[in-house]
């Protein structure tokens, strides 16, 4: 694991940028406190300084070696890499067997660059893991960067007249971005609008114009002559169909998950696991303890009735025979941590679950370097309750178009709040217009009131329409899963998993988000994900884990790190929220008096506006840190081992 920052010069003068790169690297220290490396790279002739490679290393595998940038093929290639390749041992053996490949380390990074040397870009589909990496070919003077199948590990890029910059986090690119130095004028207002709808900024953009993300399953190539080109190398394909023997499917699901957990436990440092009240994390722990009976688990909760998962997690831990270490947090803990959390996020994510995750990751980092987690199970296996909506609406949306048109007209004359109005509206609205992910914050009408410069041409369909267009053949439930893979999963779930864990120099591994697990999940028919005449979700997965997970958990609904923000914004956090809105400098972008009215209505219990108010509060904190620069998030750093080398190649710095 590491935080990477690389620069490739369009002019062959990379050495002149070394100090600026080295300085910017320090904001990634949390991603790799074990080692620091900054190297200037010459071309094969030694006449030009083509690149600067900088990294912060968190040593997980081959701790004593595998320093980066890692050279291969007599220095032709250099690699910097963030992530883990779980099948690196098997790939190493294959490369030795087929090509006589030689290796100088025992790490997984060298397998990537050796595979690139022998297989070219086809190496990507052989990798099993989470990764974001950059390779420089000194002979061809060409950069190749790629991101994993589902977007577990981040990779940002910025192209300027000087060349191209790539980094694990956006904040490392801000010193080189003109947009970052123009205040509100540098903000991508379309993505701000999307944030207010979705509660996150959708890929590939960011809130700073010009800084983008390489998408999940995408790669980037760059040369001085051609600039940056991004292409997709992987697209997940769902192909659900009839199943003759469901039990065989359940057995395959269970054994595939077991193998994925086994692979994800490969490490030279201690591995623990998060444990909540739901089946996903409990299944991971249950399978992990087969390989390490002494695995430590970590959970989080509150002293607010109905929100804490600690009691259920402790019951599961006792049933499984493992130790769980609980953490409790209160409203002041949340207030104090938010500036740090928002700084680590780069762009605002208005998911309150970020806060408990921050504290449980902090506790875990006191005991282990790696934790397993249950992200991805809902998107792969059909775990969200909203996925049942197409089934409940089938009586309407299966009618002929003419009848649906008539029912739509009827719904418009039914008064707001009258039973049946919403059902008819949703049932006569195509899934492509109705569903845009799990989070639905502000409506278009609400954004007209909130945004100072509302643009009606910016709609959520700008994000989702291209995704729907790729899967016209799928049923509506599976379309929703596919949309979530490209929106909710990588925009919210994986951003918070990566940024919040790495804030504590903790590596989170996600065994459900494995290519082999997806292959079996992709064939499950709708009736085995969401059986009719039932409110169950992830049915096939639950059946597969019936003898693995404690019986009380198998059919328990997932809480998903719930937070009592609804309660606290009416009580302990109310004055804090008022102060944030009253003093924010984001008023040129948002009508904060409108947000204040929402807070007051929430306080008086006239409505539950907690998620909307939270969305504005998180943006105000983000704006204070990254635009106004009036809020110090209080990030501290400990010096790591410094392994700086002047130049790779024959050039002398």
User: What number is the average pLDDT over the span 166-192?
Assistant: 94
- For residue 268, pLDDT beyond 60: yes
- Would you say residue 647 has pLDDT above 50? no
CA Rg value for the chain: 25
Q: What is the CATH number of the domain that holds 69?
A: 3.60.20.10
Whether residue 373 is annotated as binding a ligand: the answer is yes
Q: Under a CB-based contact definition with an 8 Å cutoff, are residues 134 and 4 in contact? A: yes
Please check the confidence at residue 593 and state whether its pLDDT lies above 70: yes
In this prediction, residue 651 has a pLDDT band, given cuts at 50, 70 and 90, of very low
Q: Which of 2, 220, 253, 265 is catalytic?
A: 2
* pLDDT value, residue 272: 97
Q: Any known ligand binding at 374?
A: yes
pLDDT at 637: 66
**Residue at 96 is within a domain:** yes
**What spatial distance separates the first Cα and last Cα of the chain, rounded to whole Å?**
28
Q: Please tell me the least confidently modeled range out of 202-211, 430-439, 466-475.
A: 430-439
Tell whether 167 is covered by a domain: yes
Q: Is 544 part of a structural domain of the chain?
A: no
How many domains are contained in the chain? 1
Domain-embedded: residue 28: yes
* pLDDT at residue 557 is higher than 80: no
Q: How confident is the model at residue 204 (pLDDT cuts 50, 70, 90)?
A: very high
| Across 55-79, average pLDDT | 90
Residue carrying the six token digits 């935080």: 3
Task: For residue 123, say whether it is annotated as part of any ligand binding site.
Answer: no
Say if 378 falls within a structural domain. Answer: no
β-bridge mates for residue 33, sequence order: 57
Quick check: 643 pLDDT over 70?
A: no
The parent domain of residue 213 ranges over 2-186+209-236+639-648
Position 646 scores a pLDDT of 46
pLDDT at 532 over 90: no
- The predicted pLDDT at position 551 comes to 82
pLDDT of residue 423: 77
CA distance 18 to 3: 17
Give me 140's structure tokens.
Answer: 């061809």
Please state the rounded mean pLDDT for residues 85-108.
Answer: 96
* Residue 108 assigned ligand-binding role: yes
Q: What is the mean pLDDT of residues 155-170?
A: 97
Annotated active-site residue 2? The verdict is yes
In this predicted structure, the answer to whether residue 486 has a pLDDT above a threshold of 50 is yes
**Higher-confidence position of 552 and 164:** 164
And the tokens for 487? 């929106």
The pLDDT tens digits of the residues spanning 352-390 come to 999 999 999 999 999 999 999 999 999 999 999 999 999
Are 618 and 342 in contact by the 8 Å Cβ rule? The answer is: yes
Q: Is 7 inside any structural domain?
A: yes
Nearest-angstrom CA–CA distance, 490 and 492: 6
Q: Is residue 562 part of a domain?
A: no
What pLDDT does 89 receive? Answer: 97
Q: Would you state the pLDDT for residue 421?
A: 72
- pLDDT band at residue 652, thresholds of 50, 70 and 90? very low
Residue 176 lies in a domain: yes
Q: How far apart are CA 429 and CA 476, in angstroms?
A: 12
Tell me what pLDDT residue 437 has: 86
Q: Three-state DSSP class for 100?
A: coil
Indicate the average pLDDT of the chain.
92
CB contact at 8 A, 497 and 510? yes
């Amino acid at each position: 694991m590491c935080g990477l920052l690389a620069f490739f010069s369009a002019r062959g003068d990379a050495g002149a940028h070394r100090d600026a790169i080295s300085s910017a690297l320090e904001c990634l220290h949390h991603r790799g406190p074990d080692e620091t490396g900054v190297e200037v790279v010459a071309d094969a002739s030694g006449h030009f300084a083509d690149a600067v490679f900088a990294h912060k290393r968190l040593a997980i595998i081959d701790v004593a070696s595998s320093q980066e940038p890692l050279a291969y093929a007599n220095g032709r290639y250099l690699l910097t890499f963030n992530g883990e390749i779980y099948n690196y041992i098997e790939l190493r053996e294959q490369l030795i067997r087929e090509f006589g490949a030689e290796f100088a380390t025992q790490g997984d990074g060298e397998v990537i660059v050796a595979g690139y040397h022998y297989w070219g870009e086809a190496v990507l589909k052989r990798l099993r893991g989470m990764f974001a990496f950059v390779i420089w070919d000194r002979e061809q003077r060409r950069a190749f960067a790629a991101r994993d199948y589902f977007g577990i590990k981040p990779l940002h890029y910025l192209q300027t007249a000087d060349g191209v910059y790539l980094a694990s986090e956006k904040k490392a690119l801000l010193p080189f971005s003109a947009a970052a130095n123009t205040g509100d004028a540098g903000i991508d207002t379309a993505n701000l609008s999307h944030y207010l709808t979705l509660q996150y900024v959708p890929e590939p953009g960011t809130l700073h114009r010009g800084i983008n993300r390489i998408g999940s399953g995408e790669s980037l190539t760059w040369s001085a002559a051609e600039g940056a080109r991004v292409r997709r190398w992987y697209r997940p394909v769902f192909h659900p169909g009839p199943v003759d023997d469901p039990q065989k499917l359940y057995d395959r699901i269970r054994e595939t998950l077991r193998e994925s957990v086994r692979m994800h436990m490969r490490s030279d440092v201690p591995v623990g696991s998060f444990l909540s009240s739901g089946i996903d994390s409990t299944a991971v722990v249950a399978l992990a303890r087969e390989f390490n009976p002494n695995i430590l688990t970590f959970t989080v909760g509150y002293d607010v009735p109905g929100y804490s998962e600690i009691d259920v997690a402790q019951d599961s831990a006792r049933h499984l025979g493992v130790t769980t270490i609980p953490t409790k947090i209160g409203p002041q803990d949340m207030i104090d941590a938010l500036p740090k959390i928002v700084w680590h996020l780069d762009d605002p994510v208005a998911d309150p679950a970020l806060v408990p995750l921050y504290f449980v990751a902090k506790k875990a980092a006191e005991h282990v370097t790696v934790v397993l987690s249950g992200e991805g199970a809902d998107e792969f296996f059909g775990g969200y309750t909203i996925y049942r909506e197409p089934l409940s609406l089938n009586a309407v949306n299966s009618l002929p178009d003419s009848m649906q048109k008539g029912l739509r007209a009827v719904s418009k004359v039914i008064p707001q709040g009258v039973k049946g109005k919403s059902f008819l509206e949703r049932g006569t609205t195509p899934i492509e217009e109705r569903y845009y992910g799990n989070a639905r914050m502000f409506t278009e009408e609400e954004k007209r009131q909130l945004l100072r410069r509302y643009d009606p041409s910016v709609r959520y369909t700008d994000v989702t329409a291209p995704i729907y267009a790729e899967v016209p053949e799928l049923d509506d439930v599976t379309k929703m899963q596919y949309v979530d893979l490209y929106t909710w999963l990588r925009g919210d779930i994986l951003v918070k998993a990566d940024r919040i864990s790495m804030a504590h120099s903790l590596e989170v591994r996600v065994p459900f988000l494995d290519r082999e697990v997806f292959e079996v999940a992709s064939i499950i028919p709708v009736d085995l994900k969401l059986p009719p005449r039932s409110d169950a979700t992830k049915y096939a997965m639950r059946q597969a884990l019936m003898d693995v997970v404690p019986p009380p958990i198998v059919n328990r609904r997932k809480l998903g790190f719930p937070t009592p923000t609804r309660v606290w914004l009416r009580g302990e956090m109310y004055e804090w929220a008022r102060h944030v809105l009253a003093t924010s400098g984001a008023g040129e972008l948002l009508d904060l008096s409108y947000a204040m009215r929402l807070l007051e209505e929430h306080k008086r219990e006239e409505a539950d506006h907690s998620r909307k108010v939270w969305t504005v509060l998180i943006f105000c904190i983000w704006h204070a840190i990254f635009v106004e620069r009036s809020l110090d998030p209080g990030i501290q750093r400990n010096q790591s081992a410094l392994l700086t080398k002047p130049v790779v190649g024959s050039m002398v710095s």
